[in-house]
Chain A
Amino acid sequence: MSGIGVFLCRCFGEVNRVIDLDYLQKKSAEYPSVVFCSVCESLCREDDVEKTVSRMKEAGADKVVIGGCSHLGRGGAIVDGLLQRGIKRSAIGLVDLREACAWIHRDDPVNAADKAWDLIRMEIASLHYRSKSGDVTVRVCPEAMIVGAGPAGLSAACTLARLGFKVHLVERGSNLGGMLNLISHVYPSDEKASEKIKPFVDEVNNNSLIHFYPKAKIDSITGFAGNFNVQVSSPAGEQRLRVGAVILASGARVWLPHGLYRYGKLKNVITQMELERQFIKGPRELKTAVFIQCVGARNHERPYCATICCPSSLKNAVRIKEENPDARVFILHRDIMTPGSVLEAYYRNALAKGVQFIRFEETNPPEILGTEYVEGMDVFDSVSGLKRKLDCELVVLSTPLIPNDDNVKLAGMLGLQIDRYGFFSEIYPLHPLETRMDGVFICGSARWPVSSDNAIVQGEGAAAKAAALLGRETVSALSLSRVPGEKLGHASVNAVTCTGCGNCVAVCPFDACRLQKMGRKRVSRVNKLRCKACGNCVSVCPNGTVQLPEHDYRAVAAMIKEAFGEEMSL
């Protein structure tokens, strides 16, 4: 049984009041390889789809062209109905007669009918050459690797372990807690940082599902969603891990403001982190303190706001004020970044506690006076328009978080994107924890600077995404799709004609193409689970060896020939 059945839809008069469907029916029925052509009142209701399938069976047609409405109209529903009844996607052609012909060319019925006939012929021609990609299914390894044991990594690890998955927690340092080990209190709860991580640390130590690898380095990661092979070296020796999902929570580091505001030259110009270290040791007696915001951030070199510096300064300024009620504490800022209700209340609290805020402009930064120690400061208050002289015993510089250097290496191993600053990029703002690679998730400051509370929330979110993958028994290549239903296939290489030029390897954004030795030559092979069917490889292949079966070049050439009457030389 072979041949194409063509169904044309009147859409209750919407199509045939402009387009002469009888003319199209006659033309279609006469066209070679078309078994029959029928015109129906509607095609999209449940019983219509049933009728369509039985009519195809009766007439012995195995492929179908639907002339109806747009895919985003009811066309998608027709295609879904046909798929449910066992017709392959590669055997269905959908022609948009309602929106693209009848409605848009309402005033020109003759040309509308010609356009419709062109579109139908193109779809018929392409159906001859379309086929379906072969699928491959692999078992999912129900374990996860988490890179980084800061708040984000700890929360992801504990969440996954509570859900019953084995977790490998890989940390470059020797302690759990990451940056929380370096600070005394966290905002906005003003909890002790050590208290904040204690429940997580206890859980990592007591839960047998969590394996902690301190002082570890990741040498290589290969594989795909459900099946990553990781080489980890640590003082305990080299280990090979097999994991189903990877969560990157490697955090960020603090930028040191060498050369700015005489940091390193004057003894009492310190950074926020140095102040935190002093706070861990105990209270400080101070009469005056000045915080300077946006040191090395929101400038030409680092044009971003690092999110955490304003609330951190508020926290420490209030603390100085609480320990020394008579002290004068100033925060010199360009904009106070406290979005939301909790942080805005935190800002108001600082105002109520008597912390003073002075706004300066980027072009006119404060100037520090003194030779060995800070003796004072000149600042131009842009709100009052006056130059002010401040006494200060201590100057605290708020510097931004910057990405870790090994982000580049990790991104290279996993085929991820990093943004222009060096943080890991998400796939899309609506899917903020997912990356370009299936099975690899990002959270915490490795993604973008966040507070410890938000890092914990993100760790839980990433764990939810990983759990959805790890809970599956198997994963098939065609099911790894960001669009619902099946993905549009994946590239396949004809090993006989491949010359091994490597063009496809160079352009593949997902690291799916690799050159492999086969006999005496090297040929390209496509990893079906990594391939996203973008078609880059198809466009650079010099002899058409790489193809997407769903979008075969012969199908495209046949469509062009039908549309323009010209042969395409390939």
Chain B
Amino acid sequence: MNSVNASPVLIIGGGIAGIGAALDLAYCGHAVHLVEKGRILGGQVAKLDKLYPTDHCAFCPLWTDVKKLREHPLVTIHTCTEVKELKRVNGLLHAVMVRKPPVIDESLCVFCGKCADVCPEAAIDSLGDHVYPPSHLVREEICNRCEKCVKECPTGAIDLQRKEETSELVVDDVIWAAGFTEVDLAPLPEFGLGKHPDIMTAMEFEEWTAEAGVNKGVIIKKSNFTVPRNIAFIQCAGARDQRLLSYCSAVCCMHALKQAQWAIRRSPAIQCVVFYTDLRTVGRDYYEYSLRDISGCRVRFIRGRPSLIYPLPTREGIAVKFENTMTQKREIWKFDMVVLNGNIGSSLKKKDQKKYISPALSGDGFVSPEADEISRFSCGFSAEPADVAESVIQASSAAVRAILAKRNS
């Protein structure tokens, strides 16, 4: 069976689902092209500080999988690349890919850090502590093109003038694994996002408090860099809400439980309150994980959706107005930090259809497999809100379905 089939399978998205599907296809002897928009593979999982329910960091398993991919002869990885167009020419599926090469060439960079030292605008940053191989990243929006780094780089890895490259590829099938992005909460002003630096989304909070991030795992406020006394975690912010996302985002309950638990483990004086609708702990050890929050970490759970979140006039704190549906009381509590959880949706957008090709999407924005030929295979958040384990399972299943489709054609 392990004969190499001529046309590869195109996987869109280099997150945990895309990586899983690519590995399964390659190990079964099929060529794969993995297209990732960003600089690095790993997607959203690479941004997570800890994974629930094991509380491990994702770096080691992700790194080993990425290394396996890099070393596999049947896998071609395209980072910084987007698929512009999918078209049928004489019955063959052609993918037009546009690559914007990064300013710093990864294969030449030795991660010495000289470029970051000389940059007058501090536009050069490490790609992240959880990245292999390590490299630097030029923030082009800050960069003033002084070219000091170009002169300083000992290996000639930096070129500020790199042009977009377009290439075309004949593929057999497409697997959509584009993952999730945060959905703008602007249509729901009652959550107060953007009105105060200490009101942030869960992914922002994860980045802000990550051990490998700017604050090295210390929980502090964004507004004045002091330790907060209390943090409110607001669940279903934007989700299960007919005005924005009608579905349940599936991962946010556990995500908030994890963040609350770790906030308290790092700074035991912080009080965490989780405002939830239903606490959805469906999965191995998830319910026990929530019990740890309740008994071990003394997280308070309040069933109720806040009706209004606003900064206090003095700007020292945020007021959360809610009805506690367990006691039927309406209250206003003051918090130092507010974390909004739930506003995540599929990265595949209908409005992209003019610019980039998009599969057939359901009303909620997930790929409808029956609709047309290029939408047959999808996994991860492109298919249905899913956590890490479910995404990887869906990826294996999508891979094997693509193999079977190949054999039948």
Measured CB to CB, the residues of A under 8 A from B are 11-14, 41-42, 44-45, 69, 72-74, 76-77, 159, 162-165, 298, 303-305, 307, 335-345, 348, 382-385, 419, 423, 426, 428-433, 448, 454, 457-458, 460-465, 467-468, 471-472, 482-485
Contact = CB atoms under 8 A, between A and B. Distances in A.
A267 B170 CA distance: 65
A246 B393 CA distance: 18
Contacts of B62: 430
A385 to B, nearest CB: 5
Interface in B316-354: 325-328
Contacts of B111: 69, 73-74
B393 A461 contact: yes
A42 B155 contact: yes
Interface string B198-239: 000000000000000000000000000000000000000000
Nearest 8 A-B pairs (CB), nearest first?
Answer: A461-B396, A468-B27, A341-B247, A12-B154, A339-B250, A464-B400, A335-B278, A460-B397
A338 B236 CA distance: 13
B384 A298 contact: no
B89 interface: no
A457 B394 contact: yes
Of A304, A458, A462, the most chain B CB neighbours within 10 A belong to A304
B388 interface: yes
Interface string B38-64: 000000000000010110001001101
B283 A448 contact: yes
B357 interface: no
B404 A159 contact: yes
B396 A304 contact: no
B16 interface: yes
Nearest to B325: A383
Nearest to A304: B287
A80 to B, nearest CB: 8
Contact of A341 (B29, B248, B283, B401): B248
B267 interface: no
B88 interface: no
Contact of B401 (A337, A460, A485): A460
B278 A337 contact: yes
Given A42-B110, A303-B287, A74 B24 contact: no
B388 A465 contact: no
A523 B64 CA distance: 36
A512 B260 CA distance: 41
B403 interface: yes
A81 to B, nearest CB: 12
Interface of B: 1-2, 16, 24, 27-29, 51, 53-54, 58, 61-62, 64-65, 67-68, 71, 108, 110-114, 132-134, 154-155, 240, 246-248, 250, 278-288, 291, 325-328, 362, 364, 366, 384-386, 388-390, 392-397, 399-401, 403-404, 407
Contact of B397 (A14, A426, A464): A464
A464 B28 contact: yes
A337 B287 CA distance: 12
Contacts of A14: 112-114
22 contacts: A11-B112, A13-B114, A45-B108, A298-B287, A307-B282, A335-B279, A337-B278, A339-B250, A339-B282, A339-B385, A340-B248, A430-B51, A432-B392, A448-B284, A458-B393, A461-B395, A464-B399, A464-B403, A465-B24, A468-B27, A471-B29, A484-B67
A338 B362 CA distance: 18
B28 A471 contact: yes
Nearest to A467: B28
B25 to A, nearest CB: 9
B366 A341 contact: yes
Contact of A74 (B133, B279, B366): B133
Contacts of A12: 110, 112, 114, 154-155
Contacts of A419: 284-285
A471 B400 CA distance: 13
A490 B62 CA distance: 24
Contact of A304 (B112, B288, B366): B288
A164 B1 contact: yes
Nearest to B45: A430
Nearest to A430: B61
B110 A74 contact: yes
B112 A305 contact: no
Contacts of B113: 14
A457 B132 contact: no
B135 to A, nearest CB: 10
Contacts of A385: 327-328
A164 B404 CA distance: 10
Contact of B396 (A41, A428, A465, A483): A465
A165 B28 CA distance: 13
Contacts of B68: 484
A164 B408 CA distance: 12
Contacts of A159: 400, 404
Contacts of B390: 432, 454
A344 B246 CA distance: 8
Contact of A336 (B27, B154, B278): B278
A247 B104 CA distance: 46
A460 B389 contact: no
Contacts of B281: 305, 337
Q: Which of B1, B27, B396 has the most CB of A within 10 A?
A: B396
A307 B287 CA distance: 11
A408 B351 CA distance: 52
Contact of B403 (A77, A163, A348): A163
Contact of B400 (A342, A467, A482): A467
Contact of A382 (B112, B154, B155, B326): B326
A460 B400 contact: yes
A467 B325 contact: no
Contacts of A464: 24, 28, 396-397, 399-400, 403
Contacts of B399: 464
Residue from the set B16, B154, B362 with the largest chain A CB neighbour count within 10 Å: B154
B284 A423 contact: yes
A42 B250 CA distance: 48
A342 B154 contact: no
A411 B61 CA distance: 24
Contacts of B287: 298, 303-305
A429 B110 contact: no
B291 A72 contact: no
Nearest to B61: A430
Contacts of A42: 110, 154-155
B27 A44 contact: no
A344 B248 contact: yes
B67 A162 contact: no
A335 B287 CA distance: 12
A430 B110 contact: no
B278 A429 contact: no
